[in-house]
Structure 1
């Protein structure tokens, strides 16, 4: 088991290094610090002195990867690559272009993102699996047919419709929840209930159809027919055999969403005014704060690789045969 985990971790390291190098190339080679200065200053005619001052304030005035004027290890460490890319591996995100501590902002904003994403994932998972098991139980009937029609209809509706419609119906007309805003502490739940409801409902269509396909594929296998031949009830077959044997693809869909738990929902946080990492990223893009965008790209890559690693580990718990691969 431990050898399998170590092997998967070693696979992840070159991927993370490659993502870091690609990010560096995009931000500092394709888009040079001079280009970033011109975009940030937002002026048609920017003087060379203004560009130099902007770069010096943010540490972009150093050589990219090799400082020929420095001595010893400073030739490598006193560079943009070391300051802005290598330090990310130690989760030293540095300062934003506006002077704020990025690590502190991430530590503060991750909790509102988790407060939305975790309930949406858990509620959505329970609802989708329950509804899809119900459709699989009544497969081939009118309930199954109209359930699939409802799922396709829900999939065809834009997520913005659920957000705006939920705000108007539940927030404005029925006045059940605040439309937007956030309050830290015990009162936070009042501002989180509505986005959690909308997030769970908007994912029912696609989630139920996917789980229904998994369950119907398992229903037609030999072990299910054997279970029925032994006299087990349909409920016991669905929950004891079908659901259990569909856990690997279910775990795949659940664990790989771990990055979205921390990174937040871009639309929900923006529309509901919740200070999470999703709105943090959107605000950084709109302000052209390249330091924050780089940090969030790297953090997203780390969390995605972590999600894949946890997926592999969870496979071994569900099916020990995976350890032999």
Structure 2
């Protein structure tokens, strides 16, 4: 097991290097250090001297990938990509281009993200599985057909529509919850309810269809027919056998998502004014703050890789046929 984890972590290194390479290339294809300097300085008239000083202070005066003026290996090592990437691999996120500590911002903003992502994840998981089992119980009926039509309709509508419609209906017309904003503690519950409800509903269609397909694959297997032959009711067969044997594919989708819950939702947090990591990333992109962008992309990649490793490890505990070498 330990050798497998070490091997997977070593495989993750070239993946993270590739992600960083793409991030650097794409960002600097759109933004130049001069544009970044003007955005951060905020002055109406920025002189070349001011721009040069800002670039030197933040390390953007070095070549991006190749330093032709440096000797030997320094042509590669004395570049913006290598220096910044090495810091990321030791989780030294440094300061943002505006001068704030990125690690402190991440720690502060991950809690609002979790307050939305965690309830949405748990409620959606339970709701999707329960509805899928109910539909499978009435498979082939009018309820099954109607449910699939509704699920496809929910999937076909953009998530932005649900956000805008929810704000209009529940905030503007009925005044049940605030339209946006955030507060810490229990007082902030009123700001979290609507994003959670919208998040659960928006994912209802795809979630129910996927779990329904999963359970339908199990419903006609030999062990299910044996359970029916023993006189078990259809409900006991579904919840006692089909659900239990369907936990492995469910586990795949659950464990890999858990680490990424810290990253928040880009669109949801922006529309509802939640100061989480999602809105943090969007604000950094708008402000051309590359230090934050590269840190958030790297952190997201690390969390996703950790989720994949946890999924493989959890297989060994839930399926005795699987052994990690």
Q: Would the TM-score normalized by the shorter structure come out above 0.5? A: yes
Task: List alignment gaps of at least 5 residues for structure 1.
Answer: none
Secondary structure of the residue that 1:99 maps to in structure 2? coil
The alignment status of 1:139 with 2:139, answered yes or no, reads yes
Offset, 1:298:
0.6
Secondary structure of the residue that 1:322 maps to in structure 2? coil
Q: Distance in 2 between matches of 1:89 and 1:12?
A: 11
Secondary structure of the residue that 1:14 maps to in structure 2? helix
What corresponds to 1:126 in structure 2? Answer: 126
Aligned length: 324
Distance 1:321 1:3, change over 3 A: farther
Task: List alignment gaps of at least 5 residues for structure 2.
Answer: none
The alignment status of 1:197 with 2:197, answered yes or no, reads yes
What corresponds to 2:276 in structure 1? Answer: 276
What corresponds to 1:315 in structure 2? Answer: 315
Distance 1:5 1:226, change over 3 A: farther
Q: What per-residue deviation string (whole Å, max 9, x for no partner) do you get for residues 134-164 of structure 1?
A: 0001101111111111111111111112111
What corresponds to 2:49 in structure 1? Answer: 49
Q: Distance in 2 between matches of 1:42 and 1:222?
A: 69
CA RMSD after TM alignment? 3.0
What corresponds to 1:186 in structure 2? Answer: 186
What corresponds to 1:175 in structure 2? Answer: 175
Distance 1:162 1:29, change over 3 A: closer
Offset, 1:78:
6.5
Query: TM-score, length-normalised on structure 1?
Result: 0.88
The alignment status of 1:241 with 2:249, answered yes or no, reads no
Deviates more, 1:26-35 or 1:138-147: 26-35
Offset, 1:29:
8.6
Deviates more, 1:259-268 or 1:25-34: 25-34
What corresponds to 2:258 in structure 1? Answer: 258
Q: Distance in 1 between matches of 2:218 and 2:146?
A: 22
Query: TM-score, length-normalised on structure 2?
Result: 0.88
Deviates more, 1:221-230 or 1:264-273: 221-230
Q: Distance in 2 between matches of 1:43 and 1:322?
A: 61
Distance 1:287 1:124, change over 3 A: same
Q: What per-residue deviation string (whole Å, max 9, x for no partner) do you get for residues 148-184 of structure 1?
A: 1111111111111211111122222222211110012
The alignment status of 1:152 with 2:160, answered yes or no, reads no
Q: Distance in 1 between matches of 2:202 and 2:42?
A: 38
CA contact (8 A) 2:285 2:293 kept: yes
Secondary structure of the residue that 2:178 maps to in structure 1? coil
Q: Distance in 2 between matches of 1:39 and 1:136?
A: 56
What corresponds to 1:215 in structure 2? Answer: 215
CA contact (8 A) 2:112 2:275 kept: yes
